[in-house]
Amino acid sequence: MAGMNVGSNGEKEGRKQREAFSVEKVYEKYYAGEGARRGLFDALAAWNRPGRVLYPGSFIHITASFVFPSVVYVDNNRDARRFFAKMGDVAAFANRHRVYSEKPEIIFHGLSYEAGIPESENAFDLLISLYAGFISKFCKRYLKIGGILAVNNSHGDADLASINPGYEFIGVIQKRGDRLRVVEENLDSYFKPKKETRVTEELVRKLNRGIGYTKTAPAYLFRRKR
Ligand SMILES: C[S@@+](CC[C@H](N)C(=O)[O-])C[C@H]1O[C@@H](n2cnc3c(N)ncnc32)[C@H](O)[C@@H]1O
C-alpha cells in the first residue's frame, strides 16, 4: 500500500506539473473571451477563405487556427517557444475549436521573422500583422503575388504597407452591426493624415506607432502586387 501512496503522490506531482503548463490555461491567460479577437479572423474567412496563412509575431495567438486550417506561426519569444513546444496539445486544442472540416495544420518557427524563416517565398495566401512590428516589409516575400496582407496600425505597419509600391490597398475591416466585416468601398478616405505629413519609413520607425489619420479601421487589407 505504501508503494501505492508513493505512486499516487508521484502521479499527483506529475499532474500538478502538467497543469502548471497547460496549453489551454496559458491561452486563456492571454486570449480569454473578446481578447482572442476572433472576429477579425472570422471576417477574413467569410470574405475569402485563404489557403496557407503566415502569422509572424504571433505570440501564442492560435485563435487563427480555429478559423484557418493551415497556419505557420513565427515568434522568437521564449514563452511562445515553450507553448508551441507542446505541439501535440496545441494541435488538439485547435482541433477542438476549429470551424472547418479538415485537421488543423500548425507549424511554428521560434525565430525572428526579420532574420528569415524556413518557408518558401511566394507561398502564402494571407499574411497577418498584428501588434508585432514591420511584418509587411520583412515578410512580403513569403506572400504570393495576389496574396493578402491583413495588418493593424498599432506599430505603424499599415502606414508602411500604404507607402510600399509592392502593395495595393484593397479594403478595411470595420464593424458592421455587431460584427467585423471586410469593406471594399470608399477607401479614399483612409490614410489621410490629420496634419500635413509626408509619410515615410523613417517617420513611421521614429514614431513606432501609427500616424494620426482622419479615418481609421481595426485592420487594413493590402494585395501584394509585386
Ligand atoms: C504584442 S505581441 C502581439 C502578439 C499577437 N500578434 C497578437 O496580436 O496577440 C508582439 C509579438 O511579436 C513578437 N515579435 C516582435 N518582433 C519579432 C521578430 N522580429 N520576430 C519574431 N517575433 C517577433 C514578440 O515576441 C511578441 O510575441
| 182: CATH | 3.40.50.150
The answer to whether residue 4 scores a pLDDT higher than 50 is: no
Counting from 1 in the atom list of ligand 1, the atom nearest the Cα of 128 is 6
Query: How far is the centre of ligand 1, averaged over its atoms, from the C-alpha of 36 (Å)?
Result: 15
Burial class (CB in 10 A: 0-12, 13-18, 19+), 113: buried
Q: Name residues whose C-beta falls within 8 Å of residue 86's C-beta, 6 or more positions apart in sequence.
A: 21, 23
**Ligand 1 pocket: which of 28, 40, 58, 151 to mutate (most atoms <8 Å of CB)?**
58
48 lies in which domain range? 22-224
Is 10 among the domain residues? Answer: no
Nearest Cα residue to atom 9 of ligand 1 = 61
Instruction: For residues 113-142, give the mean pLDDT.
Output: 97
Max CA-CA distance within the chain? 80
pLDDT digits (tens, 9 = 90+) for 136-188: 999 999 999 999 999 999 989 999 999 999 999 999 999 999 999 999 999 99
In the chain, the number of structural domains is 1
Q: What is the pLDDT of residue 139?
A: 98
Query: How far is the centre of ligand 1, averaged over its atoms, from the C-alpha of 114 (Å)?
Result: 11
pLDDT digits (tens, 9 = 90+) for 208-219: 877 888 899 999
pLDDT digits (tens, 9 = 90+) for 22-76: 999 999 999 999 999 999 999 999 999 999 999 999 999 999 999 999 999 999 9
Nearest Cα residue to atom 8 of ligand 1 = 130
Nearest Cα residue to atom 12 of ligand 1 = 57
Of 134, 138, 60, the C-alpha closest to 93 is 60
Is 151 among the domain residues? Answer: yes
Q: How does residue 1 score in pLDDT terms, banded at 50, 70 and 90?
A: very low
Is 3 among the domain residues? Answer: no
Is 100 among the domain residues? Answer: yes
**Ligand 1 pocket: which of 54, 76, 128, 208 to mutate (most atoms <8 Å of CB)?**
76
DSSP secondary structure letter of residue 169: E
Q: What is the pLDDT of residue 6?
A: 46
What φ, ψ does residue 191 adopt, rounded to 5°?
Answer: 60, 35
* Residue ranges lining ligand 1, Cβ < 6 Å: 56-59, 61, 74-77, 80, 112-114, 130-133
Is 183 among the domain residues? Answer: yes
C-alpha cell at 78: 521564449
Is 4 among the domain residues? Answer: no
